[in-house]
Structure formats: C-alpha cells, structure tokens
C-alpha cells in the first residue's frame, strides 16, 4: 500500500501492478496501455452505494469535473454520463477502508476494454475540497494510463515500468510522504500535462510504438465496442 495525503492510501499501483507514464512512468504486464484517439468514457452512478454514503451525485460530479478541468487539453479522453452502456461507475462507499498505515481515499482503473469502478471512500471527505479534487486528479492519472512515480521501486516478478519524458519527483503521480520524499511533491505540474499530451500524440499517430522495447497498445472503451456492435448494418 502507498501513503497519499499524509495517512491516506492509494492502492492502484500495487493492487493492479501497473505503471504510470510521466515524469512519467507507463506500462503493465508487458504492454503500455493507452486509449485510442477520440475515446469517450461513459459513466454511471451506483445509486445504492451513493444513497448509503449520504453524498449526492451533484457533489461528486462537481469534484470530478474540477479534476478533469485541471488536466485540461492533456486529458486524452472525454467523459459523458450513460446509464445504459457504460465503461465505469462511481461507487461512493459508506464505510472507510483502513489499514495500520492509513485509509484508502479512492481506487481507479487503467485503460482496457472492460467495465470498471471509480471507488470513492469517505476518508476522502476528511480533507478540504482542494485535496479532494487533487485526489481525483491523481486517480484520473491512472485512468489515463499513468502509474506512480516510484513504480520502478515496487515492480518485480516480471512487472516493469517505463519512463517517458522528464523524470522529476514533483508530480501528481507521487505521494507527499512516500518514503523519504519531501512534502508538496504530489502536485499536478506542467510537465505532467505536456508529457502526457506528447505521449498520446506520438502513440496515436504511430510515431511511437514502443518505449524501451515495451509495446504500446491502444484500447477502445467497452462502450465504444458495444455501440459499434449494436449499430444497424447498412
């Protein structure tokens, strides 16, 4: 587990054994997963867990939209609500998920063709709004294909990460108190955004197909594949 925002954890790195590109670190199970050009991720809310959590859809969407806006033009996908054909659902939990080292704030997912959850735990709301948004900015980094800055310190048993762009410690894919890191090193930087944008431009154009011999694979969202399959034949 990894500490994030002092005594809180992000589990995406070790749970999925995947990496993040930027300052950038990218890769998973022998490939670097990214989204195809024009990808739209469709989401819905798990109404049962949302009601149990005591939070509102408007509250969550306000935070999420602010997080997306912080990535700006570097965001490689767009998002839209769709309760019928969806790629991920917001799963807002009522109960905290804690360990000796702290509590998990959120869990996200990496690019592939499946359906997923973006889980938000009540511990995230123990922090101010700016930190809540920063948590979702970090989780969006995973959704875009990014792993933690320190992924290379963790990987083993055939897992490996690749670095693309500038490799500085200050990045949104870092943790303020990971090992010996100084405070305020978990922050969205211009390098995070410009490197991510450049990675996707080069990968989608075919200019970049591998990073250090690790192949890049572009994924279509689940919803895109389903909508294409169900479209009327000419």
For residue range 104-141, list pLDDT tens digits in order.
Answer: 999 999 999 999 999 999 999 999 999 999 999 999 99
Residue 186 CA to residue 218 CA, distance in Å, equals 28
Total-model pTM: 0.86
Residue 17 has pLDDT above 50, yes or no: no
The more confident residue out of 231 and 157 is 231
Q: Note the residue count of the chain.
A: 234
- Mean pLDDT for 16-34 is 55
Alpha helices (runs of H) in the chain, residue ranges in sequence order: 12-16, 47-53, 57-71, 129-143, 151-154, 190-205, 222-230
Which CATH number is 82's domain given?
3.40.390.10
The domain total for the chain is 1
Q: 42 or 164, which is more confident?
A: 42
Query: Rounded to the nearest 10 degrees, what angle do helices 129-143 and 57-71 cross at?
Result: 70
Whether residue 157 is predicted with pLDDT greater than 60 in this model: the reply is no
Convert the pLDDT of each residue in 184-222 to its tens digit. 567 899 999 999 999 999 999 999 999 988 899 999 999
210-211 β-sheet, strand order:
32-35, 214-219, 210-211
Collapsing DSSP states into helix, strand and coil, what is residue 219? strand
How confident is the model at residue 13, as a pLDDT?
A: 47
């Amino acid at each position: 587990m990894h500490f994030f925002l002092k005594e809180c954890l992000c589990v995406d790195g070790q749970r999925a054994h995947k990496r993040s590109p930027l300052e950038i670190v990218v890769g998973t199970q022998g490939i670097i997963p990214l989204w195809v050009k024009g990808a739209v991720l469709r989401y819905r809310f798990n109404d049962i867990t949302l009601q149990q959590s005591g939070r509102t859809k408007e509250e969550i969407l306000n935070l999420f939209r602010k997080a997306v806006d912080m990535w700006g033009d570097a965001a490689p996908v767009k998002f839209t609500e769709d309760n019928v054909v969806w790629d991920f659902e917001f799963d807002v939990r009522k109960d905290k998920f804690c360990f000796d080292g702290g509590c998990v704030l959120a869990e996200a997912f990496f690019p592939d063709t499946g359906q997923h959850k973006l889980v938000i735990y009540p511990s995230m709301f123990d922090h101010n709004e700016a930190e809540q948004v920063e948590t979702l900015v970090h989780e969006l980094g995973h959704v875009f294909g990014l792993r933690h800055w320190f992924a290379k310190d963790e990987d083993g048993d055939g897992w490996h990460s690749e670095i693309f762009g500038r490799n500085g410690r200050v990045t949104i894919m870092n943790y303020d108190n990971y090992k010996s890191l100084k405070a305020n090193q978990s922050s969205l930087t211009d390098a995070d955004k410009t490197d991510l944008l450049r990675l996707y431009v080069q990968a989608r154009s075919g200019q970049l197909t591998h990073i250090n011999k690790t192949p890049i694979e572009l994924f279509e969202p689940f919803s895109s594949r389903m909508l294409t399959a169900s479209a009327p034949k000419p």
